[in-house]
Copies of this chain bind each other. A is one copy, B any other.
Amino acid sequence: MLMSSPQAMAGRAFAPPSLMSARLTSGFEHKLAHGVLRRIECRELLFAEGDAASHVYRIETGAIALNKVLADGRRQVIGFAYPGDLIGLGVEGEHVMNAQAVKATRVRCLPVSALRQSIAEDPALGVKLYEALARELAATRDLMLTTGQRSAVERVASFLLAFSRRNQRVGQDPANFELPMTRTDIGDFLGLTIETVSRTFSKLKLLGLIELPCSNRVKVTDIEALQGLADGAQEA
């Protein structure tokens, strides 16, 4: 077996596209379906950096932000996990990041030992987990390219597009959605302050690319133009 134990894991593209939604094998699915359902309140931690990595978790409803913090409190959100995503995969031992609910969330818990057993029974599951980890790595690197090299507008546009694409992938409206996370979460994800995030949303609204009926609801009205900004077309 190759899987050993938890830590954060994910699995798709860049930003919000969340963490691994791989369709996993039946034995594992079955165990998970019977796993303990746990509720995490808004802002509560599912696990923290340094915790023993005893379980893996699948998000059922809600959303989780995976983050790391510096000694002085500066925070970097590494990714968001949405329903269907699996988190807690990684190296043996301790979690290396915090998993915090951005809204009330339900997760199914599966002990690492049960996961190990599933892998022993079905080696293909091991391969899938490996590939999910590789995808997660690729996604994290894309995010690095974004936070390291792009302007505020490019970052926010990329973020919205990524969220939109994910929505489409899971069969929801790609042009009209609700962001579960706060401006602070978005800022810590993109490496911007909440003021800059807010100003950038306003700017996109002013440019006529999005509408914001209320602060967490986004309607994308010109996805082409948004894509242009994300790709670095000269900004208005």
Contacts and interface: CB of A to CB of B under 8 A. Distances in A.
A100 interface: no
B138 A232 contact: no
A71 interface: yes
A233 B180 CA distance: 35
Nearest to A147: B148
Interface stretch (A34-42, A56-64, A91-99, A201-209): A91-99
What copy number does this chain have within its complex?
2
Contacts of A138: 7, 90-91, 96
A118 interface: no
Contacts of A140: 137, 140-141, 144
Contacts of A71: 231-232
A134 B133 contact: yes
Interface in A112-152: 123, 126-127, 129-131, 133-138, 140-145, 147-150
A7 B134 contact: yes
Contact of A74 (B4, B68, B149, B191): B149
Interface string A55-96: 000000000000010111011101000000000011110001
A179 interface: no
A1 interface: yes
A230 B138 CA distance: 27
Interface string A178-195: 000000000000010000
A2 interface: yes
Contacts of A145: 68, 70, 76
A160 interface: no
A101 interface: no
B72 A1 contact: no
Interface in A191-236: 191, 231-232
A70 B149 CA distance: 9
A3 interface: yes
8 contacts: A1-B127, A2-B2, A7-B134, A9-B137, A78-B144, A144-B147, A147-B147, A147-B191
